[in-house]
Structure 1
Amino acid sequence: MDKNCHILCQLLMKDFKEPSLSSKLDETWTKAYDEGIFHLLDGILYHRTKNTCVMALTDRTLIKTILHECQDSVASGHLSEDRTLERVKTCSWWPNWKKDVA
């Protein structure tokens, strides 16, 4: 688990109160945290928007797997960039994810 994910999990635990922790988050994560879009459920960090609630990812190996499954696998059928963006958006989130898909 990376530093940002660890800090967010601590901040979102109901019994853990240390507001100064949020200052240790990277800028992208701080903005999302301040907007209240992260949720912790059963120890898993989720990123919520108006229409979706998906797992927040930090592990580069897992991100590469998601990208492969959404872009290059036989099941995905070599989708266009727009369709790949849609597929990734429905299952996961990580900072600057759109740049990784493009």
Structure 2
Amino acid sequence: MIKIQEPSRPWEIVHMDWVTGLPPGGDRSYNSFLVIVDRFSKTSIFLTFDNNVTAMDTALLIWNRGV
């Protein structure tokens, strides 16, 4: 088994996962969110979405948040 490399600074290695299928909530009826965790500091970011989000929308939102 290969050991996963340890990050040397924040936001060098991140883990991401979707949580979907939630009941709609909020002004825009969000029903899913993306969890992004920094492996170095264990800081978490939660980004809300609806089911119509594309890969490009996701990438732009992550880029604009400075992750």
Q: The TM-score by the shorter chain falls in which range?
A: 0.3 to 0.5
Question: Quick check: which one's helix share is greater?
Answer: 1
- Using the size of structure 1 for normalisation, the TM-score is 0.25
- Using the size of structure 2 for normalisation, the TM-score is 0.34
Q: Which has the higher contact order (CA 8 A, sep 6+)?
A: 2
Question: Quick check: which one's strand share is greater?
Answer: 2
